[in-house]
Structures are given as C-alpha cells and as structure tokens.
A and B are shown apart, each in its own frame.
Chain A
Amino acid sequence: MADSQSILAHAPELQHHFDDSAQQFESSTLGMWIFLVTEIMFFGGMFGAYTVYRNLYPEAFASTSRFMNVTVGAINTGVLIFSSFTMVMAVRSAQLGRKKALIAFLFLTLLLGCVFLGLKYVEYHEKWLDHHIPGSGFQYEDSRYVRQAQVLFFLYFAMTGMHAVHMVVGVGLLTTLIVMAARNRFSSAWFTPVEMIGLYWHFVDVVWIFLFPLLYLIGHTT
C-alpha cells in the first residue's frame, strides 16, 4: 500500500482502539467489502427466485418483457454508469485534497442518482396506469398468462424496488458526504467515508447492470 505512509503521517481521525491509521483504514475497507458481500447475498435470494420462475414460465416471461420500457431502462443504465464515473472522480478529488472538485463531483453523482430515481418513477407510473401492479387491481393483456405474469411483475417490482431503496439510501449518504466535505472534514490524508460510500455506490450500479438485461432485454420480443 503506497499511500499508507501518508496516512500514517497525519492522523486527525484515528480512533483510540486502533494502533495507527493504516490499521484503521484496512479495517474500514475490509468491513465495507464484507458488507457488500452481505448485499450480494441479499439480492442473491431474489435472483434465485427469478431464475426459478424464469425456468418455470419462459413463455409468460417473454410475454411480460414486452411491457418493459427498454428505452427508459437503457437511459437509466447510461445514467448510472456515468454516475459511477463521477463517483470515481469524487474519490480521486478527495485523494488530491481538491475540496471544490470533490463537492462538485459528489453533487453531480447525487444529481444523476436523482435522475435515475425520477425515471424509475416514470416507469412505475406507467405500470400503475397499465394495471401491472401485483395485487387486487392487477390486469393483464394476454389472458393465458394473467397469473404467471402477476408473479413475474411481483419479481420485477421486488428487485427494482429493492434496488431503488438502495439508491435512495445512496442519495442520503451522498448528501451527508457533501455536508462533511463543505465542513472541511476531509483531507488528502483522511477521506475514508468518501471511498467507502464510493464502493457502495458502485455496488448499487453493478446490481442494476445485472437487473437491466435480466428484466428488460432477455426474452424481449416486440
């Protein structure tokens, strides 16, 4: 670790129970990665259920994929990938101790996250108008697949909904980071929260990278 020496040199945020900043940073990083593993298992349960139902009902699956808004989904994919880039730039700015750039990139990431959530709202609203929300009001165009389609839309909402919840949490975390940055809490020697929340943000992006083809593209027929 090349920069561990620079962390050692300056340690305003060292907590009492750690020997040095390098140990503290290593602990934070390992802890964050383990947390992301738990997140993979969390989403993994739903990906497992998705796999089971996709195998059980391939025709119904093809039928429901016609109602996925691929355009909005694709735009959102681009938005998230670009937000990953701005997040990386934010971490880079923190490393270099450039406060203004850090705040700007964090703000841009936050904005892109909000764009994603806004477009997600548009999609959900479409589903609402089409009566594709599972529950007592559910209706489906193809009478052969009404029940199976409801199960599949249930999975769609569970998976994208849980992803959206993570996005909302991410937006909250970014807001906290911006406030902390504005109060000069970060320096080139200590910016662990920026890096950790960066990892979280990338993870949530990667989940969407899997969700988009699985829910929107596979089995897509016009």
Chain B
Amino acid sequence: MSTTLPFAPAEAHPNYLNANYGWKSWLFTTDHKRIALLYLFSITAFFFVGGAFAVGMRLNLLTPEGIFDHDTYNKLFTMHGIIMVFFFLVPSIPATLGNFLVPLMIGARDLAFPRINLLSWYLYIVGGIIALTAVVQGGVDTGWTFYAPFSSMYSNTHVILTAIGVFISGFSSILTGLNFIVTIHTMRAPGLTWNRLPLFVWGHYATSLIQVLGTPVIAITLVLLGLERLLHAGIFDPAVGGDPVLFQHLFWFYSHPAVYIMILPGMAVISEIIACFSRKSIFGYTFVAISSIAIAVLGFLVWGHHLFAAGQSMYASMAFSFLSFLVAIPSAIKVFNWTATMYKGSVSYETPMLYAFGFIGLFTIGGLTGLFLATMAIDVHVTDTYFVIAHFHYVMVGGMVMAYMGGIHFWFPKISGRMYPEGWAKFAALVVFVGFNLTFFPQFLLGYQGMPRRYAHYPAEFQVLNVMSSAGASILAIGYLIPMIYLGWAWRNGPSAPQNPWNAKGLEWEQSPTPPPTFNFEHQPVVNEPAYNYSGGESEVHIGG
C-alpha cells in the first residue's frame, strides 16, 4: 500500500479521515477516532485468528475419534479461548465503538488523555504479538483459565510467554477504562447531566469500573503464576502446602467481572439501537442506567460460583449461589425495558435492529441458563460439560458479538461516511443467527447428556449433535465473512451517507458532521433535552433550564 490512504473522497468536507494521510498520521495519532479504527482492524484480525482455532476444534469433533491428538486439541481450545477473551471480547466494543463514540456522545473534543489512549493500543498490540509468538512457538495447553498447579508445575508449553502477553494487554484495558471514567466525569458538554447521558455512555462507565478494579488482580495473579513456574516454591502446589484453589479465587475475582466487561458494552449498544429503530425513548431510562452499575458491582461478588466443584466450603457456595441469582435482576430489567420500549413503537427492521433482536433472544437464553448454573445441584451435574460452553457462548457470541455487529452497522455511516448495502447486511444477519443457533443449541443437549468439555474424543452416541454443531459453525463463519466483504467494499464505494441516516437522537448524529472533523464538532454542543427524545416532547421544558 502506498503512503496515501484515499479513504475519503477529495470533495468531502474536512474530517478525521482526510485531515492528513500516510502511515505516520495513523500510528502516531492521538485522535480517539483514528485510534478506534486502529483497534477495529487489529481486533478483527484477532477475531479471525481465534476463529481459526475454533474451526480446528469443530473439524476435530466431526467424528468421535477426531483428527488431532490430545495435545494438539488442548492447544486449540486454549488458544481459541485466550485470543477470543483477552484479545477480542474484552477490548471489542469499548476499544472500537466506545473509543469512537464516548467523546462524540458527550460533546467532547477527545478523551481526557489522548496519548494514554494511543499507548493503550500499543500495549494491546505488544501483548498480542507476544501471545501470537507463543502460539507460533508451539502454543499453550492450560486452558484459557491457566489453572494451577498444571500451569505452574506440569505443562510443558509456553505458559509464561502467554501470561506476559495477557499481562501487558491487561494494562491496555486498564488505561482505556481509566480514560473513559475521567472523560465521562470531567468533559461532558453543557447541559449533559448524568440523567441525560446516553445509555451507551452509562454502559461504558460501568464497564470501565470493572476494567479498573478487576484487571489489576488478574495482572498480579499472572505475576505470581509466572514466579511460581520459575521458582517452584509451591505457592499453588497442594503437594507442598500451597493452595491451588487460591489461584482459582484470584483468577475468577477478575475473570468473572470480566465476563461483564464482555456483555455490558453490548447492552450499551443495544439500548441505542432499540430506541432509534422503535422511535421511542427508552422505557425506564433510570432503571436501565442504574442496572449497568448494579451489574458491575454485583459482578464482583459472584466469582465463587466457578468453584462449586473445586472444594470450596458449602456455605461459601450457598452465598455465591444466592448472589449469582441477584445478578439476574438487573440483567432482566434491561431485557424487559428493551421489550417495553418496542411496545407500541414504530419498529423498523434495518440491519442493526435485526442484530438487536438476535441479541435480546440469545442473551435471554444465555442468561437464563446462567441461572441453571448458579443453582448448585444443577451446576454439579453440568460442571465442565458442553452445557457451560453453550451457556457462555450464548452470552458472549449470541450477546456480545451480535451487539458488536449491530453497532458496527449502526455507526458505520458515522465512521466511514458511507452507507453499507442493506440487502446483503440483512442476509448476513440472518445467516449469523441461523449459524449461531445451529452451532450452540446442540451443545446444551450434549452437555446435559454429559459430554465433558475439553476432550478431543467422545463416545459415538454424541456424534449427531456434534455434526450439527460443526455444520452450524461453518454457516456462522460464512455469516462473519460476508460483512467483511461488503463493509470493505462500502468503505470505498458505498454511497455517501447523510449526516444522520437513521434520524437518530444523540450528539454524535445531530450535532457532529459525518464523518466527524478531527475535533468532532464545529461548535460547542449544548444539550437541552433528555436522551432519546424521539417524541420531541419535554424539550421546551428543559431549554434555558
């Protein structure tokens, strides 16, 4: 590629894409919008790397005997998990859409710390390269959870290198969260009070709290793991008085809240899409906003439900079980309020809305099966089976990735200044929905019948459902490849987008040109109405107020 990147047509108004050209203007940019695009491209690359490992797993599981030996299969599922969790899901929506939109939505010219924002992308890339180096060198086989003492004593794979990669990329996540919190506190436009904040911003605020409070704990856990692997002092080795369950506590203290890092931004996107395409203000705005914070807070109190079968005290398990049920309440508030928002709204069926429908249905299934798992008696039956796999893929792929795709389509005109082909997009959304369900619904049945996760081979009686799942995975893969093609095409060749193609509310659509100029707004935006004021009412009440 030459040094000029003709992303935007020459006649377009001055914007962040045509402000300057050349690789230096991208790699040394402090513009949050350009950093968001850097993240978008690198995260997409990691998504397909992680997906490639999943392809290997599904190929292997087509037949009971499989095509890979146990060691290879262990590495496949480990690297699928590590890449997808730490290098795709955690940064996915916050680092791309959040980075792009949080300053626009609150009427700021940039995030509070633009250079730290760029630093966070570099940390992500360095961490990612180190993790990929471990992959190329032969991979790692501990599972994405790095459970000790296997990871600290027995595994002969590149545990330390991978842990260093995850450790470094963790700081990228911390810095993004820190930047968002400070920006949302100090840089809101005049009139944009907390109870007028778009729910997208509320969701990212809650996500940032988790990133800031949780990620340091996984960082120190990985440091201890690495030291233990070097010194063999036995801190996680039960044979010499160490406590392996302590590792699980420390690990899940981050990693359970981290699953809310992997869903709250998705919920944030869905709130925007549902309100826009129902042409109504969100039902129960305050409840939806506060439920994000409630999920973030309660999320820190439930990690023990990963340890029901790990020798945790029964009373601790009962408390964790009860607290896990509590998290369902704010999650359900969101689902009910989205549904109520659509009730008697003038609902239209553009692509982002199709993904939002998918999100609501699939997240509900994922969330409700989470309640099965929070119930101790059922959890003991299905621990480490495909039931668990299906549950969290319904939340993370059915929830988060659906929301990510919906958000990418919804804000694609804003980001690129172009429209995507609606027909292809609707088709791809349908393919993703069908492929997803065919992949993961059979896994609920497999898990309930007792097929354990993380095994390369399985009894012949499970083959039919596994073939269905693999077939679904291939459909799902096509569903993800189609948008790659038409979005890439539309980026250069799509028809120019008007400033507000969806007639959506919000500063990013109403007061910022499309695509936005480098400093986002031509005039200081002022907010004088509540969020999602689609009915147009109430705004007079607030003017001058």
Contact = CB atoms under 8 A, between A and B. Distances in A.
Contacts, number: 113
A31 B178 contact: yes
A162 B227 CA distance: 12
A57 B241 contact: yes
B368 interface: no
A118 interface: no
A50 B240 CA distance: 17
A135 B179 CA distance: 40
A154 B233 CA distance: 7
A46 B250 CA distance: 9
Contact of B240 (A34, A44, A150): A150
A30 B185 contact: yes
A27 B179 CA distance: 9
Interface in B167-208: 174, 178-179, 181-183, 185-187
Contacts of A34: 178, 181-182, 212
Interface string B205-248: 00000001111110111011001101111110000111100100
B240 A147 contact: yes
A158 B223 contact: yes
Contacts of B112: 17, 27, 31
- Of A26, A31, A53, most buried by chain B (CB within 10 Å of CB) is A31
B243 A56 contact: yes
A175 interface: no
Interface residues of B, number: 44
Interface string A111-122: 000000000000
A137 B480 CA distance: 54
Interface string A29-64: 011001101110111111011001100110000000
Contact of A147 (B178, B185, B241): B241
B217 A41 contact: yes
A162 B186 CA distance: 32
A30 B181 contact: yes
A52 B216 contact: no
A135 B224 contact: no
Given A49-B224, A49-B246, A150-B240, A41 B216 contact: yes
B486 interface: no
B466 to A, nearest CB: 39
Contacts of A16: 109, 519
A16 B115 CA distance: 13
A25 B250 CA distance: 35
A17 B110 contact: yes
Contacts of B221: 45
Contacts of A107: none
Contacts of A222: none
B246 to A, nearest CB: 5
B85 interface: no
B216 A158 contact: no
Nearest to A40: B216
Secondary structure at chain A's binding surface: helix, strand, loop or mixed? helix
Nearest to A154: B233
A132 to B, nearest CB: 11
A186 interface: no
A89 interface: no
Interface in B240-260: 240-243, 246, 249-250, 253
Contacts of A46: 220, 224
B358 to A, nearest CB: 35
Contact of B246 (A27, A52, A153): A52
Given A27-B186, A162-B223, A148 B215 contact: no
A43 B178 CA distance: 18
Contacts of A15: 114
Nearest to A136: B232
Interface in B483-532: 519
A17 B31 CA distance: 10
Contacts of A162: 220, 223
Nearest to B115: A15
Nearest to B208: A34
Contacts of B185: 27, 30
A151 interface: yes
- Of A37, A151, A155, most buried by chain B (CB within 10 Å of CB) is A151
A69 interface: no
Contacts of B227: 154, 158
Nearest to B30: A17
Contacts of B216: 38-39, 41-42, 44-45
A34 B232 CA distance: 34
Given A16-B109, A37-B212, A41-B217, A148 B178 contact: no
B250 A45 contact: yes
B113 interface: yes
Contact of A49 (B109, B212, B233, B235): B235
B108 interface: yes
A16 to B, nearest CB: 7
Contacts of A135: 230-233
A198 interface: no
Contacts of A38: 174, 178, 212-213, 215-216
28 contacts: A17-B112, A17-B519, A18-B187, A27-B182, A27-B187, A30-B182, A31-B182, A34-B178, A34-B181, A34-B182, A37-B212, A38-B174, A42-B216, A42-B220, A45-B216, A49-B246, A52-B243, A56-B243, A57-B241, A135-B230, A147-B234, A147-B240, A148-B241, A150-B233, A150-B240, A151-B241, A162-B220, A162-B223
Given A23-B187, A46-B224, A49-B235, 8 more contacts: A17-B108, A34-B182, A42-B217, A43-B220, A134-B233, A138-B233, A148-B241, A151-B233
The 10 A-B residue pairs whose C-beta atoms are closest, nearest first, are A134-B233, A45-B220, A42-B216, A17-B110, A41-B216, A154-B233, A17-B109, A147-B240, A27-B112, A135-B231
